[in-house]
Structure 1
Amino acid sequence: MRAKEGTFRDLMTQDRQFQVPLYQRHYRWKTGQQEDLWQDIAEQYRALADGSAIPKHFIGSIVAVEKDADPLHDFREFRVVDGQQRLTTLSVALAALRDVAALDDPDQFDRLNKKYLINDTEPKGSAKWARLVPGDEDAAPYWTVLTDPLNVSGHSAIVNAYRFFHRKISALREAGELAPERLATTIGDRLALVFVTVSEGERPHKIFESINATGVGLTQSDLLRNYLFMALGPRSNTVYTQHWRPLEKALGVEGLEGLVRDDLQSTGEFIKQGDVYRAARGRLEPSAADLDFLEDHVKRLARRGAYYSLFLQPADPSSTASDLGLSKKALRHLAFLRSWGAGTTYPLLLHIYSEKDAGRVASGQAESCLEAIESFIVRRYVVDVPTNVLNRLFIAVIGNLPPGEPIDVALRRELSRDKRWPDDDRVRDGIATVHYYSNGRPHQQRLVLQRLESHLRAEVDLDFDSAKLSIEHVMPQTLSDGWKKQLTDAGHDPREVFERLGHTLGNLTLTAWNSKLSNQLFERKQEILQDSDLKLNEQLAAATQWGVDEIQKRSQVLADAAIELWSAPVPGVVTARSGFDWTRVDEAVSALPAGSWTSYGDLAELAGTAAQPTANHIAHDPAVTNAYRVLSSDGSISFKFQWHDPADIRDPMEILIGEGIEFDDNDKASQAQRLGPPELEALLDNVPGEVQ
């Protein structure tokens, strides 16, 4: 690695070209960042005019990999690793200066072009003509800025940047303050940077990760994308074009960020948002030199992305749904989960459909899983169970699904543990007593009523979006004198009745005439509701009055429908702790001698379970001793390792080194000191009775 301080002009000399790889993130600078840079340029510009001696403004670093040089030519090509946002912005700013300056002096166009933007020894339009070659979607707008500025159009980020600097420089010209050569000198010579060149053998992605220069913050998927495609080397453009770019276009930035995290969590391990890249790299690093492995990983992620796009946009049963073999019933469940905002289910859904792709889960089983998940969520909702645990709960369930057992059967059992899935009695009680109208979010309240309406209509489709229905209180929230008299005449305290029953499901319905109904007496509401086509309103239209008995009876009817629609849990399921005997794992970990280590997978094989539930058990059971001697299969300490005592701040690596474990430069323990399942078996056989 070589680092040298210089300026933009030093960097963009004749016979050089900086190429932004296709897989690098697109140009993203917005007006705020461009304004900050312009203020720095303006300060240096004024100082040059005044003859003031101020330091150059440091704008950050440019990191690039130099391609193998052609011994017969002096032309040098660089692949940009980091800093393309700055390179692109400064090049666009100089193009804008070129065009404004040429209005008064046409020679400025060629002069500034040759000095900063093009290699004039190369034929115009040839591969080596431009000194900067942006990647992917930025290439076309930049080429227009460079070669045909009068026809710049559209609203790409590069075009917007060009217009920004064109306005700023034009304002200087109109004020009589533009000195083109001085402004070019300001941009070219007064903005300092550090130019870092690395070779392929120096693992440029490591340098990319460590850079903390000013610019647009990197997302976790940015880091993963750069890691993958830097490692893919000669295959990067093909794999990016065929698999990653379509994935990115289908999901967008936020969707891709969600996929990357949920893909990791689909193995049953909770990953914090800020740890996504670290976790992904940890899984890929052992095979990072295997290009086939990396390419297959991108293909697999793209396949999962096709499912993920349906999680995010399932309302459109496109050809993608058909290609993936998803039925109308499956799409309906996915549409419900998306409308509900059930993003916490996505890791579990990815796991289910990954198993389906692998041929281990039939389509009918996957549909059964979707029905179970929807029922689990809605039943908890109508009885007002807090939702803050669902994220970790669904992820933990993945790790407890035994291989070989029908996945829908296992999922229903795991969700039923510890009465997490409300049974029929709890649903009846919840619908009768829970203040539904103040529970959850308005769109969730409507969704439950809409699904009940569809169920009562025997699944006859109704376009709820076009109907624009809202929730109406039959007994209104503000009781008129007429309503109060009606309740008082029936022997009830109006205030007590409404506080107890007014917001329960039995007193709520859907209607398109909310404003008409408002605080009307029941007789008038009934006249209006008689014209309704909704099954939810048939009982209301047929009632002769509306009070305590009617609300309670309607609650029973809706509870019957809900119980029929959303299936019940598996009764009598024991807790997860009682469901598996961890004795052999506990004994093996306790028996590990100093100077040795084992992995979660080794212990899982010993005990006849999977690695993830084994890791979960070790992490959460304080009775397990020597847990720090259990590492990932590649010998690295799990980044999620924590001592059971929060006050314990010891470094597990230092302890292991002190016990004689050898670590390499990548912080991975020696495989020669690893005890696999046979050695663990022998270890237990040699320690009869109480483990020492």
Structure 2
Amino acid sequence: MQIVQGRIMNDFIEPNKHQYTVPVYQRNYEWSREQCENLFHDIVQAYKSDKTHFCGSVVYSQFYEVNGIYYHIIIDGQQRLTTIYILLKALLDLSDTDSKREKMIEALFNQDKYDAYSIDRQSKLKLKPIKSDNNQLMLLMEDRYDEMDKTGEIWENYQIFCELIRNTLEEDDLDVKDIYRGMEKLICAKIKLDSDDNAQEIFERINSTGVPLSLADKIRNFVLMTDVEQERLYTDYWLEIERLVSKDQLTTFFLNYLNIKTEGFAKESEAYDLFKTVYHDNLYTNESMLSELLHYAGYFHTFLYGDNPKYSVRVNELLKSLQKLKQTTVFLFLFRVFDDYDQGVINTTELEKVLAFLLNYSIRRLICEIGSNSLRGLYKTLYSRVFGKASNKEHYYDSIISFFLQLTSKDAMPDDMTFLMALKEKNLYRKNALCRFLLVMIENRGKEQLITDNLTIEHILPQNKNLSTSWQNMLGENWESDRDRLLHTLGNLTLTGYNSELGDKPFEEKKDLLSEVNTKVVELFKDVKTCECWNAEAIERRADRLAGVIIKLFPLVLPENHISFADPRYHEYTCEDPQEATNKKPQYYILQGERVNATNFAQMLRSVILRLYAMDPSPIEQMARFDEQLLPWSQNILFSYDPTKVSGKYINIDGTTILVSQGFSASNIVQIIRALLEKYDIGQDDFVYSARPS
């Protein structure tokens, strides 16, 4: 490797019979207006001060010589050289004499005055950028401006330099030849590589003054720089990857790829080194790596856009729905699932069932406000946890749903009751994408699809804190608490094209504007238009109906074949012997066939009480009203309206003033559950719990 001080014009632009080629692994030309302006001002200042200006390094290697033309590869510095080339063309076009134009032409083009070198259209230019940029540069140099891409950086920067040159000629009393003399003062670190130098390693060590390399740039250079077939690999693989994955998504794609290939999670700052480790440890060739990247880029594109005709309409619709809800962490699992589909492990029906479940699971998590911080870890390990036993693939969907039903962490599938309660009570409006998605799904079920792009989410009961008197009177004496509790919930939300017009209008006027004649919204509005009074009762009644619709749209389809992921330490127990609960840690309980996760006995008791109360509130209300002692031998009262009667850190039954005692032992809790089952006339065989020794 030879490092000397060089001059941009004297060493790289002016010499005849030389061409500097930008290899295909380099990024596209992408200098900004600010960078062009800074370079131009540096050039003008260098002329005015008669001093040199350092503009970075140019790393190159001599490639070969054909017909008297010497071809070189530019390893680093292509952005600056391309920019100077564009500036020279602008100077050529704004030169006012033949002698000045001749000077620029000699700098831009290889000359063959005696036809000795067979110079053709391709070898005439002294700079050859990568394919897409080269086409644009050729059009510019041949004055074929009408054929150029007017949104590309080459055309835009040419226009910028023309503007800067005109302004400088008018305001600074300078000439084109003065700007050229300023360019002659640009110096650089001229680094010529020898045949035994490792171009890739040198490239990575360069402290470039240009645009920082992205992760995609580094990976592209790594898999193309050292290959003699880089032109073919670039065209057949890399350009296809870029076509499938937009530039702003490339980094995310490569991080996803690394996350399915390695343990732990890839950080962007460490991803390039991790990629090289994956490449070397798995003995990839450049082509085998590019082939695999292209394979997963196809999946990634499908996940993002749901537009792949290779898959069914239903598969594409489900992928679009996941994307609308921004559920991109699921990609880590889907890469493996789609591999199985393409390899014939599962058919279209099974793939549709898996995607429908993942959409259902995502919606339930969002509605129940389960934190997303565990999702990446869940989806990264999910495939190995479900299909670590190869025979589980024989019942693909059943294995996945069985796994989620047996989870005891917060990642477990929320059951129907929990989902229903959250649908009716949680603030849905602040989850804007989810809220809109669910309202559209409700409206479009089982009928001609309504175009909803121009519709917005509307509160039937207005958001204004200073409600009008008519609204206060309609809500009743508890109007403030009812408004705060119900304002942003499912029962009070609809879709409309008249959001800005509705505002705080009285209910009767809102009904007219929300009529199906005006908005064509039918399903969401049918129980509103028949209402005479929009109060808490009406909102809760509508929430019940809409939540029921959503449950039908996203049912929890149980497995036909139960696949066990049970920990052998756990066993199932009934209420018959409460002492069996002592020194045990529960995992779940099953009440009348419904399995519910519970990680401690106190949580189990609260959950059982909530389910029984939802089934029939009267037995619990009666026990609370009369401070009934549920266990004859115990002085503790389980339910009461009086805080002095209950024990421990008591809690409320949600939405009521009924207090529940806390602080019971595991065996006492099982006895309480047994007594409650008797109150509700539920047989002991209808309740079991799973636990292991603690």
Fold-level similarity (TM above 0.5): yes
Q: Is the 2:108–2:125 Cα contact (8 Å) retained in structure 1?
A: no
**Match of 2:429, as an amino acid?**
Y
Q: Which residue of 2 aligns with 1:111?
A: 103
Alignment of 1:416-495 (within 5 A): 416=405, 417=407, 418-420=409-411, 421-438=413-430, 440=431, 442-454=432-444, 457-458=445-446, 460-465=448-453, 468-478=454-464, 479-488=467-476, 492-495=477-480
Q: Which residue of 1 aligns with 2:662?
A: none
Structure 1 residue 226, shift from structure 2 partner: 0.9
| CA deviation string 1:110-155 (max 9, x = no partner) | 2232245434464553443221111111112211332327768523
**Could you say if the C-alpha distance between residues 238 and 348 of structure 1 is closer, same or farther in structure 2, counting changes exceeding 3 Å?**
same
**Match of 1:215, as an amino acid?**
G
Partner of 1:347, secondary structure, is helix
Partner of 2:59, secondary structure, is strand
**Could you say if the C-alpha distance between residues 357 and 2 of structure 1 is closer, same or farther in structure 2, counting changes exceeding 3 Å?**
farther
**Match of 1:540, as an amino acid?**
V
Q: Which residue of 1 aligns with 2:173?
A: 177
Structure 1 residue 330, shift from structure 2 partner: 0.9
Structure 1: runs of 5 or more not aligned: 49-53, 582-692
**Could you say if the C-alpha distance between residues 577 and 118 of structure 1 is closer, same or farther in structure 2, counting changes exceeding 3 Å?**
farther
| CA deviation string 1:267-319 (max 9, x = no partner) | 4642122233222221112466x6xx4323323322332332233333xx4xx
Q: Distance in 2 between matches of 1:195 and 1:230?
A: 20
Equivalent pairs counted in the alignment come to: 549
The structure carrying a bigger strand percent of its residues is 2
**Match of 1:408, as an amino acid?**
Y
**Match of 1:249, as an amino acid?**
R
Aligned residue among 157, 181, 186 for 2:182: 186
Q: Which residue of 2 aligns with 1:507?
A: 492
Aligned residue among 206, 211, 214 for 1:216: 211
Q: Which residue of 1 aligns with 2:91?
A: 97
Q: Is the 1:453–1:536 Cα contact (8 Å) retained in structure 2?
A: yes
Structure 1 residue 549, shift from structure 2 partner: 1.9
Q: Which residue of 1 aligns with 2:295?
A: 303
Q: Distance in 2 between matches of 1:550 and 1:14?
A: 86
Q: Distance in 1 between matches of 2:460 and 2:171?
A: 68
Q: Is the 1:26–1:138 Cα contact (8 Å) retained in structure 2?
A: yes
Alignment of 1:83-94 (within 5 A): 83-94=77-88
**Match of 2:446, as an amino acid?**
A
Partner of 1:27, secondary structure, is coil
Aligned residue among 354, 368, 384 for 2:369: 384
**Could you say if the C-alpha distance between residues 370 and 313 of structure 1 is closer, same or farther in structure 2, counting changes exceeding 3 Å?**
same
Partner of 1:177, secondary structure, is coil
Identity %: 25
The structure carrying a bigger helix percent of its residues is 1
Q: Which residue of 2 aligns with 1:4?
A: 4
| CA deviation string 1:647-682 (max 9, x = no partner) | xxxxxxxxxxxxxxxxxxxxxxxxxxxxxxxxxxxx
**Could you say if the C-alpha distance between residues 181 and 508 of structure 1 is closer, same or farther in structure 2, counting changes exceeding 3 Å?**
closer
Q: Which residue of 1 aligns with 2:530?
A: 542
Structure 1 residue 252, shift from structure 2 partner: 2.2
Q: Distance in 2 between matches of 1:313 and 1:367?
A: 16
Q: Distance in 1 between matches of 2:168 and 2:460?
A: 67
**Could you say if the C-alpha distance between residues 398 and 83 of structure 1 is closer, same or farther in structure 2, counting changes exceeding 3 Å?**
farther
| CA deviation string 1:501-560 (max 9, x = no partner) | 121111212222334443233334334444344212112223343222222222222222
**Match of 1:547, as an amino acid?**
N
1:35 pairs with 2:34: no
Alignment of 1:108-507 (within 5 A): 108-115=100-107, 117-120=109-112, 122-123=117-118, 125-148=120-143, 153=148, 154-175=150-171, 177-188=173-184, 190-199=185-194, 201-231=196-226, 233-267=227-261, 269=263, 270-286=265-281, 293-314=285-306, 317=307, 321-322=308-309, 324=310, 326-403=311-388, 404=390, 405-406=392-393, 407-416=396-405, 417=407, 418-420=409-411, 421-438=413-430, 440=431, 442-454=432-444, 457-458=445-446, 460-465=448-453, 468-478=454-464, 479-488=467-476, 492-507=477-492
Q: Distance in 1 between matches of 2:59 and 2:568?
A: 54
Q: Is the 2:45–2:182 Cα contact (8 Å) retained in structure 1?
A: no
| CA deviation string 1:624-667 (max 9, x = no partner) | xxxxxxxxxxxxxxxxxxxxxxxxxxxxxxxxxxxxxxxxxxxx
Q: Distance in 1 between matches of 2:266 and 2:60?
A: 31
Partner of 1:305, secondary structure, is helix
**Match of 2:322, as an amino acid?**
L
**Could you say if the C-alpha distance between residues 148 and 516 of structure 1 is closer, same or farther in structure 2, counting changes exceeding 3 Å?**
closer
Which entry has the higher C-alpha Rg, 1 or 2? 2
**Match of 1:59, as an amino acid?**
C
**Match of 1:366, as an amino acid?**
L
Q: Distance in 1 between matches of 2:402 and 2:4?
A: 62
Alignment of 1:493-642 (within 5 A): 493-531=478-516, 532-568=520-556
Q: Distance in 1 between matches of 2:186 and 2:144?
A: 25
Q: Is the 1:145–1:152 Cα contact (8 Å) retained in structure 2?
A: no
Partner of 1:535, secondary structure, is coil
**Match of 1:436, as an amino acid?**
L
Structure 1 residue 459, shift from structure 2 partner: 6.2
**Match of 1:451, as an amino acid?**
M
**Could you say if the C-alpha distance between residues 499 and 220 of structure 1 is closer, same or farther in structure 2, counting changes exceeding 3 Å?**
same
**Could you say if the C-alpha distance between residues 151 and 435 of structure 1 is closer, same or farther in structure 2, counting changes exceeding 3 Å?**
closer
Q: Distance in 1 between matches of 2:553 and 2:469?
A: 39
Q: Which residue of 1 aligns with 2:55?
A: 59
Q: Is the 2:456–2:495 Cα contact (8 Å) retained in structure 1?
A: yes
User: RMSD over aligned Cα, in angstroms?
Assistant: 2.9
Q: Is the 2:495–2:524 Cα contact (8 Å) retained in structure 1?
A: yes
Partner of 2:529, secondary structure, is helix
Q: Is the 1:375–1:566 Cα contact (8 Å) retained in structure 2?
A: yes
Q: Distance in 2 between matches of 1:577 and 1:60?
A: 63
Q: Distance in 2 between matches of 1:240 and 1:577?
A: 49
Q: Which residue of 2 aligns with 1:625?
A: none
**Match of 1:185, as an amino acid?**
R
Structure 1 residue 199, shift from structure 2 partner: 4.8
Structure 1 residue 578, shift from structure 2 partner: 5.1
**Could you say if the C-alpha distance between residues 62 and 176 of structure 1 is closer, same or farther in structure 2, counting changes exceeding 3 Å?**
closer
Q: Distance in 2 between matches of 1:266 and 1:285?
A: 17
Structure 1 residue 429, shift from structure 2 partner: 1.7
Partner of 1:538, secondary structure, is coil
Q: Is the 1:431–1:506 Cα contact (8 Å) retained in structure 2?
A: no
Q: Distance in 2 between matches of 1:256 and 1:360?
A: 29
Partner of 1:520, secondary structure, is coil
